[in-house]
């Protein structure tokens, strides 16, 4: 088996059939390689318009796509989803800028990720209508079970002499973790099985699944042998595996790397005697080695200029250092998490507040004395979530906290950042029995008492496993709340000087 992940060096000994290469003659050994029949090109999980430290972004992605298409080899450019959200600009335009930029690189196959539905079904359908590239999602259906108009289940592409059947698969968990309204998401493997069989009957020589699915589902697809190649997204890994039968590729995130799968195929016989044999090789295009495409860069620069006018405004000063790294906000009390929870508790006049650490996204450290801007807050809170208030029992509060720490070992996004609460966690205890010594505003939590809990609209409907909130009386509902990021900004402006710090709200044993 050939296998590579981001955790391995890209430049040292990638193994047979693998190379970390760039286009444009930078790898002379390419000239001696067997003639490639066609290339599959993959990007996934791209949220940022611009590069970061010279890597990633739409302008560099465009440069790679153009270079790949200019090689004289048939190319199928696939996008495995997650791009409309979350980003700074999406908080203002709900992903409209992403459509303009993606139209410029024009993937041949686009499979929606869960973040395509963050702004609801209507916005998803509107954005799809603005796109000049095809959407694929064989396991997405309307409430009545019918296909979603203008979405394809699958297609057969003639790539050189090979007929390649492509099926799109969205994450079946989308309904739980995003906001797709009444759209249905069917089990990925069941749908792939029927779609692959249909494509084979239509004459497909190979099956390529383009999927926005988590790694467990990816591995199940590989084991099933239903697809010859799996191009996937969602986990943000740079990963390539090939076990001699099935290829699985993911291209990291934000177009930092764009993976090319070169297929060398031979076709023998005709009709029922037709036989296609193939073998893959892999090129990991590092965008740091490419100059940005000037046309796309001009559009990105226009959007960035508009953003700066809106965002680069100071709103307060933090006395203490703030740490929003995902490893922190998803595993322990964080000063910035306290700030967010305090802000929504203040905004809603809740008794206590619980918000998910996974909703804090900028993954950075701020020094003590930093001047906080609108850009900082929106970078941390890009999802467009709104404030909610729900009245639940103390027993439901405890259940919520137990859920929040149930994935502490893998740093799940459900980890709770809280206000008005203190509790202890035994991370080694069984799931469901980890939380103890809970205090609400200085008093022991009363399991029979009812508490007004400030949270966000995602968690209010059971998102991230917070099903106990769905049992309560909704006081500020889905259409009544205020944008969380705005409420945090207002809170920071009101304070002027922010003194948020780690103060023992969550003690992990």
Measured at the alpha carbon of residue 203, what is the angle toward residues 197 and 207, in degrees to the nearest 5? 55
CA–CA distance, 460 with 179 (Å, rounded to integer)? 12
pLDDT recorded at residue 215: 93
Question: Domain map of the chain by residue range?
Answer: 2-304, 312-508
Phi and psi torsions of 209, nearest 5°: -100, 120
Give the H or E element holding residue 343. helix 335-348
Residue 323, phi-psi category: left (phi > 0), alpha (psi -120 to 50), beta (remainder): beta
Give the H or E element holding residue 158. strand 154-159
pLDDT recorded at residue 32: 52
Give the H or E element holding residue 122. helix 121-130
Q: Are 179 and 222 in contact (CB under 8 A)?
A: no
Longest Cα pair distance anywhere in the chain, in angstroms?
Answer: 79
Q: Are 150 and 203 in contact (CB under 8 A)?
A: no
Residue 140 pairs with which residues in a beta bridge? 185
Phi and psi torsions of 31, nearest 5°: -60, -30
pLDDT recorded at residue 177: 73
The tens place of each residue's pLDDT in the chain, 509 residues long, gives 666 665 443 332 233 345 544 443 344 344 456 799 999 999 999 988 999 899 999 999 999 999 999 999 999 999 999 999 877 788 789 999 999 999 999 999 999 999 899 889 999 999 999 999 999 999 999 999 999 999 999 999 999 999 999 999 999 999 877 889 999 999 999 999 999 999 999 999 999 999 999 999 999 999 999 999 999 999 889 999 999 999 999 999 999 999 999 999 999 998 889 999 999 999 999 999 999 999 999 999 999 998 888 888 999 999 999 999 999 999 999 999 999 999 999 999 999 999 999 999 999 999 999 999 999 999 999 888 989 999 999 999 999 999 999 999 999 999 999 999 999 999 999 999 999 999 999 999 999 999 999 999 999 999 999 999 999 999 988 767 888 998 899 899 999 999 999 999 999 99
- Please state at what angle helix 294-311 crosses helix 96-105, rounded to 10 degrees: 170
Task: Give the pTM.
Answer: 0.74
CA–CA distance, 6 with 215 (Å, rounded to integer)? 14
Phi and psi torsions of 25, nearest 5°: 80, 15
Measured at the alpha carbon of residue 481, what is the angle toward residues 475 and 483, in degrees to the nearest 5? 155
pLDDT recorded at residue 43: 98
Residue 242 pairs with which residues in a beta bridge? 2, 247
CA–CA distance, 236 with 219 (Å, rounded to integer)? 15
CA–CA distance, 407 with 440 (Å, rounded to integer)? 23
CB-based contacts of 36, cutoff 8 Å, min separation 6 = 73, 262, 263, 264
Tally DSSP H helices, then E strands, for the chain: 14, 31
CA–CA distance, 123 with 140 (Å, rounded to integer)? 16
CA–CA distance, 116 with 171 (Å, rounded to integer)? 11
Q: For 460-466, which contacts have Cβ atoms below 8 Å and span 24 or more sequence positions?
A: 460/388, 460/390, 462/176, 463/176, 463/177, 463/356, 464/177, 464/356, 464/358, 464/403, 464/412, 464/413, 464/414, 465/403, 465/406, 465/414, 466/354, 466/356, 466/400, 466/403, 466/404, 466/414
Write the class of the CATH domain 2-304.
alpha beta
Q: Are 248 and 282 in contact (CB under 8 A)?
A: no
b vs e for 20-37, b when ≥16 Cβ sit within 10 Å of the residue's Cβ?
Answer: bbbbeeeeeebeeeeebb
CATH superfamily of 312-508: 5'-Nucleotidase, C-terminal domain (3.90.780.10)
CA–CA distance, 317 with 493 (Å, rounded to integer)? 9
């Amino acid at each position: 088996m050939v296998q590579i992940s981001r955790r391995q060096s890209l430049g040292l000994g990638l193994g047979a059939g693998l190379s970390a290469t760039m286009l444009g003659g930078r790898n002379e050994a390419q000239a001696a390689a067997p003639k490639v029949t066609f290339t599959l090109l993959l990007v996934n999980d791209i949220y940022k318009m611009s590069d970061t430290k010279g890597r990633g972004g739409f302008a560099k992605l465009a440069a790679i796509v153009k270079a790949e298409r200019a090689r004289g080899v048939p190319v199928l450019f696939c996008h495995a989803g997650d791009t409309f959200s979350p980003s700074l600009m999406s908080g203002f335009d709900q992903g409209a800028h992403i459509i303009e930029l993606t139209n410029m690189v024009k993937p041949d196959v686009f499979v929606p990720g869960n973040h395509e539905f963050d702004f609801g079904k209507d916005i998803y359908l509107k954005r799809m209508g603005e796109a000049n590239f095809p959407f694929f999602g064989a396991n997405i259906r309307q409430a009545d079970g019918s296909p979603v108009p203008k979405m394809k289940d699958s297609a057969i592409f003639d790539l050189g002499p090979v007929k390649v059947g492509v099926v799109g698969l969205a994450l079946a968990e989308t309904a739980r973790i995003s906001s797709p309204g009444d759209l249905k998401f069917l089990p990925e493997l069941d749908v792939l099985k029927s779609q692959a069989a249909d494509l084979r009957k239509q004459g497909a020589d190979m099956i390529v699944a383009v999927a926005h699915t988590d790694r467990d589902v990816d591995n199940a697809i590989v084991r099933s042998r239903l697809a010859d190649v799996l191009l996937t997204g969602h986990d943000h890994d740079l990963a390539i595996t090939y076990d001699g039968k099935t290829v699985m590729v993911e291209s990291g995130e934000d177009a930092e790397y764009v993976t090319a799968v070169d297929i060398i195929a031979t076709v023998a016989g005709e009709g029922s005697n037709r036989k296609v044999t193939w073998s893959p090789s892999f090129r990991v295009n590092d965008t740091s080695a490419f100059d940005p495409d000037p046309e796309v860069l001009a559009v990105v620069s226009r959007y960035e200029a508009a953003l700066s006018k809106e965002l680069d405004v100071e709103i307060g000063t933090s006395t203490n250092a703030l740490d929003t790294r995902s490893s922190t906000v998803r595993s322990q009390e964080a000063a910035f998490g306290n700030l967010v929870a305090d802000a929504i508790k203040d905004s809603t006049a809740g008794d206590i507040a619980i918000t998910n650490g996974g909703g804090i996204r900028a993954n950075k450290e701020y020094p003590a004395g930093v001047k906080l801007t609108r850009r900082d807050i929106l970078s941390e809170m890009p999802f467009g979530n709104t404030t909610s208030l729900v009245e639940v029992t103390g027993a439901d509060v405890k259940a919520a906290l137990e859920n929040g720490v149930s994935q502490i070992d893998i740093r799940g996004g459900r980890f709770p950042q809280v206000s008005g609460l203190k509790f202890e966690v035994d991370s080694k205890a069984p799931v469901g029995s980890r939380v103890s010594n809970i205090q609400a505003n200085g008093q022991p939590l009363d399991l029979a008492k009812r508490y007004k809990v400030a949270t966000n609209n995602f968690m209010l409907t059971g998102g991230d496993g917070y099903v106990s909130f769905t049992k309560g009386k909704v006081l500020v509902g889905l259409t009544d709340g205020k944008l969380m990021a705005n409420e945090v900004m207002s809170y920071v402006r009101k304070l002027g000087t922010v003194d948020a710090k780690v103060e023992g709200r969550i003690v992990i044993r």
